[in-house]
Amino acid sequence: MSSGLKEAVIELREVDALRITEEELKGGTDPLDIVTACREAMDVIGQRFADGQAFIPELIMAGEMMQGITARLKPYLKSEAPGETLGTVVMCTVQGDIHDIGKDIVVTMLDIAGFEVIDLGVDARVEKVVETVRDSKAQVLGLSGLLTVAFDSMKATVAALDEAGLRGDVKVMLGGAPVTDAVVEFAGADGWGKDAVAAVNLAKSWVGGAS
């Protein structure tokens, strides 16, 4: 596909981004290629934020654009989804962090893949996360964060799961630009997804739904 969509998202040209998405879909472009272009654009925006070249309003606008694009993609991708629910995933941006662009993309992709997703939003209290995992009997918990201060919240959440006797029943997946294998080890999690596609594949592997 052309680079037009990626550029439109990076430049926050919402009307153009939605128009290009529609044109690409009507032209037969693989919806997953559109997802990839959007992810690459979000990586650029996220890096600009980290470098102090973009700010909260830009992140909010980019998130709203992604909601519009994914809403258009969903009917095309749903046809490829399995007929039965693969499992339950609880997702959130951890306590102390309010960034949700990456989380929202993962939530959409998990939903498309056939998971039941419970999205607790941003700045999710540790107690609420534990309560939701317990009540939903979720097999996977996704913890997202863009700020390095989120690492302590990730660790606290995993520790609280352990204290509640739930740790053995749920796999914990981390996500966010600063996350690495070292962060996974620090938090006591089970793995991390470098992007939405990797996160979905990881969740599938944990519930026995990998292709």
For 32-63, how does the pLDDT look when each residue is reduced to its tens digit (9 = 90+)?
Answer: 888 888 878 877 887 787 788 988 788 778 87
For residue 32, what is the domain's CATH number? Answer: 1.10.1240.10
Integer Cα distance of 55 and 199 in angstroms: 26
- Averaged over 116-124, what is the pLDDT? 95
Give yes or no: residues 120 and 189 share one domain: yes
Range of the domain at 100: 88-207
Asked whether residue 138 is domain-assigned, the answer is: yes
Least confident interval from 10-14, 150-154, 197-201:
197-201
- Portion of the chain with pLDDT greater than 90, in percent: 55
Q: Quote the tokens at residue 24.
A: 């690409």
Give yes or no: residues 96 and 68 share one domain: no
Give the amino acid at 74. Answer: K
Asked whether residue 129 is domain-assigned, the answer is: yes
pLDDT at residue 74 in the model: 79
Give yes or no: residues 47 and 92 share one domain: no
Give yes or no: residues 166 and 93 share one domain: yes
For 132-181, how does the pLDDT look when each residue is reduced to its tens digit (9 = 90+)?
Answer: 999 999 999 999 998 898 999 999 999 999 999 999 999 999 999 899 99
Residue 13 has pLDDT above 60, yes or no: yes
Give yes or no: residues 119 and 187 share one domain: yes
Reported as a pLDDT band with limits 50, 70 and 90, residue 2 is: low
For 172-185, how does the pLDDT look when each residue is reduced to its tens digit (9 = 90+)?
Answer: 999 998 999 999 99
Q: What is the 3-state secondary structure (H, E, C) of the chain?
A: CCCHHHHHHHCCCHHHHHHHHHHHHHCCCCHHHHHHHHHHHHHHHHHHHHCCCCCHHHHHHHHHHHHHHHHHHHHHHHCCCCCCCCCEEEEEEECCCCCCHHHHHHHHHHHHHCCEEEECCCCECHHHHHHHHHHHCCCEEEEECCCCCHHHHHHHHHHHHHHCCCHHHCEEEEECCCCCHHHHHHHCCCEECCCHHHHHHHHHHHHCCCC
Give yes or no: residues 64 and 92 share one domain: no
Give yes or no: residues 35 and 123 share one domain: no
Residue 67 has pLDDT above 70, yes or no: yes
Give yes or no: residues 31 and 133 share one domain: no
Reported as a pLDDT band with limits 50, 70 and 90, residue 1 is: low
Burial status of residue 62 (CB atoms within 10 A of its CB: 0-12, 13-18, 19 or more): buried
Q: Domain ends where: 78, 104, 127?
A: 78
Residue 116 has pLDDT above 60, yes or no: yes
